Amino acid sequence: VVHGCPEVHGTGQISFGKNLCLYRELYLETQAQGQILIADEVVLSHGVHLVSFTSIRIGTGTMIGEYTSLRDANHRVVTNGLNRHAGHTSAPIVIGTNVWIGRGVTILAGVTIGDNAVIGANAVVTKDIPANMLAVGIPARPIKLVGS
């Protein structure tokens, strides 16, 4: 189900699985060798941003809440010249299967989120989150097993 045409920028290296639910105002961007790989049964809610210079992989059955941002690259910072022209560093983002990512979450470069994890609303994920864990906060930290 597509509730509105996604905004696609860059190289267009994007793969979609089956039985997706894509809400309005999605922003999908791939640059350089970047690719976005979305498995089956994924939900991308209103206003989700995915930006890849390396790769973003989203596992089967994952739900991503409104206004969440996944970005696998950051600008380099320089003291001589403009940061805008300094290039990027990047590392893959991997989201496991059956992950629930709450509204307004930010997931940064190099992060892996394990299967069945839950990420609380507005968290900033800077490090890996193990499978079956609830993680919250800024920066996000695992606080308990899902369902316990």
According to DSSP, the residues that pair with 8 across neighbouring strands are 28
**What is the value of pTM for the model shown?**
0.93
The type of residue at 131 is: A
* Residue 138, C-beta contacts closer than 8 angstroms, at least 6 positions apart: 122, 123, 124
Identify the active-site residue in 49, 75, 85, 88.
Answer: 75
Question: What pLDDT digit, counting tens, does each position of 97-112 carry?
Answer: 999 999 999 999 999 9
Tokens 């793969």 sit on residue: 15
- Strands 88-90 and 49-52, how do they pair? unpaired
Q: In what order do the strands lie in the sheet with 14-16?
A: 14-16, 36-38, 56-58, 93-95, 112-113
Report the alpha-carbon distance of residue 131 to residue 60 in Å, rounded: 14
pLDDT digits (tens, 9 = 90+) for 111-121: 999 999 999 99
Told to judge if 75 belongs to the known catalytic residues of this protein, a careful annotator would answer yes
Q: Is the pLDDT of residue 128 over 90?
A: yes
DSSP string covering 68-87: -EEESEEE---SSS-GGGS-
